[in-house]
Amino acid sequence: MNRIRTGIDYVDYGRSRPPRRALQLVLGAIAISAFGSAWLLHDGASAAADPAVGQTEAVVEAAGGQIASAASAQPEGAAATAVTPSGDDADQLTIPVNAVLNGKAAAQPSTLLAMTHDSSAARAALAQPLVSAQPSAQVAASEAAAIGDADDGGDDGDESPDEDVVSAIAKQIDDKPAAPIHLPKGLKLKSSVVLVVDQKSGDVLAAQNADRVQPIASLTKLMTALVISEAHQPMDEKLEITSADIDRIKHSYSRLQPGMTFTRRELLLLALMSSENRAASALGRHYPGGFQAFVSAMNAKAKSLGMTHTHYHDANGLSSQNVSNAEDLVKLVKAAYQVPLIRDFSTNVQHTVHPGRRSLHYVSSNRLVRARNDWHIGLQKTGFTNEAGHCLVMQATVKGRPLIMVLLDSDGKLTRFADAQRVRRWINSGKAHIASSARGHSASAS
C-alpha cells in the first residue's frame, strides 16, 4: 500500500532494531553516579575546607563522559551487565577518581561503577595528587591534528596523525619549561614576546621572552628592503612579475599577476607598506646573482648587524625557516631606520599603481598608520603566518622619547596594535622609569 501511494518501499525495522533498555541503563547509571558522588560532599562548608573534595564535580563530569564512550564501545550485553545494579546498590555508585585521572576509565568501565559511596574512601581517592586528565600524548595528537588542519584547509577527514609527529610534540609538551615573564608592574600585554627599548640609550623598558627564537613572517621584508637599498640598483628599472613569484607555500592571495611590470621603487613600496609577497619575491629574483644570492646577502647582513639568532630562507617571510628573536629584531629596526627610503615607504598610508589599463590601490597593513591619531611612527612592519602569529615592529616617539617596540605572537589580529597603545599609555603615565635601569637585554644605540 505504501508503494502505491508514494512510490517508496517502507521497511519495518521493528524486529531488527536492537533493544534500547541497555542504553537506558547506562545513562541511568551515569546520572546516579554523578548525583551519588555529589552527595559525598555533604555541604558547601566541607567542600570549601577540603580543596581536593571541591574538585569532585568536575572530575565526575569528565568521568561520566569517559564511561559513556567506553560503554558505547562494549558489546550490548556486556554494557548491560556492567551497569545493572539492583535495589539500593544504585545509590552506592561512585567513581574512583584516581583511575579516571590516570586515563584508566575507558579501559575498565565496570570498575568505575564498583566503588561504594563511603566518604572516607572517596576522600582518600580525592586526596591523591591530581594529574592532567589528558596525557601529553593525547594533547600532542590533538595539536598535530590541528596543525594538519591548518596546513591543508582542514580536509584531513578522520585520519590519525603520524605517530612520530605525535611523539615529537608530546616530548615538546613535556620538556617545555615555563615561559619567563619580565614585564614591569602596571604593564599588561597580550603578546607572547615583548621588547620595548629606548632607541638612544638602549635601556630596556619592558621585556618578555625577548630571547625566544621563532618564525617572523613578513617582518622579513625589513631585511629585504635593507639589502635592496644597499645594492644601489636602479629604482626606476622595470621588473616583471612571473609565475616564480607565486606563493607555493601558503597559497596567499595577491593582485600582482604574472606579466605585470612595476618599477623597483613601486615593488619596494608595496612590500613595505602593504606587505605584498609577490613584490618582495620579485625584488629578490632581480638581485645580482639571482634569488639564492639575495638570500645569502640577507643572512650576511644579519650577521654583520650581530643578529646571531636570525636566519632567512626567502625574501617575503612565507617560509617558517625565517626565524629571529626580539633582541635581533631591535637591531634590524635600528639599521633600517637609518635608511630614509625605508622609513618613508613603511609609513606610507596608501598608494595606487598602474600596471596597465587597470589601477591597483593599496593601503598600509598597520591600522595605527592608517588611523588619524597622534602617533609619531618613524618605521613599522607587520607580519602574520600561522607559525609566527600576529607580529609588529615599530619605531615611534612617545613623550619625546624614541622607542623601538617588538610585539610577536599576539593573541589576535588587533592585539598587537592594542598592545602598542598600552605601551604608549604606560610610557605617558610616567611609570616607565621603573624598568629603565634594567639592562638585561641592553642594545647599544646605533
Q: Which residue has the cell 555533604?
A: 42
* φ, ψ dihedrals at 350, nearest 5°: -160, 160
State which H helix or E strand residue 346 sits in.
Answer: helix 340-346
Cell of 328: 635581533
Cell of 74: 562494549
Listed in sequence order, the DSSP H helices in 12-82 are 21-39, 44-49, 56-73, 76-82
As a whole number of angstroms, the distance between CA 113 and CA 81 comes to 11
Q: Is residue 194 within 8 Å of residue 326, measured between CB atoms?
A: yes
Task: Select which of 191, 229, 275, 364 is catalytic.
Answer: 275
As a whole number of angstroms, the distance between CA 98 and CA 109 comes to 14
Q: Is residue 323 within 8 Å of residue 213, measured between CB atoms?
A: yes
Task: Select which of 221, 331, 334, 381 is catalytic.
Answer: 221
> Is 442 annotated in the active site?
no
> Is 275 annotated in the active site?
yes
Residue type, 25: L
Q: Is residue 206 within 8 Å of residue 218, measured between CB atoms?
A: no
C-alpha torsion sign, points 31, 36, 38, 39: positive
86 conformational bin, left if phi > 0, alpha if psi -120 to 50, beta if neither: beta
Q: Is residue 146 within 8 Å of residue 386, measured between CB atoms?
A: no
Across the strands, what pairs with 369?
none
Task: Select which of 33, 37, 218, 324 is catalytic.
Answer: 218
> Is 119 annotated in the active site?
no
Which residues form the catalytic set?
Answer: 218, 221, 275
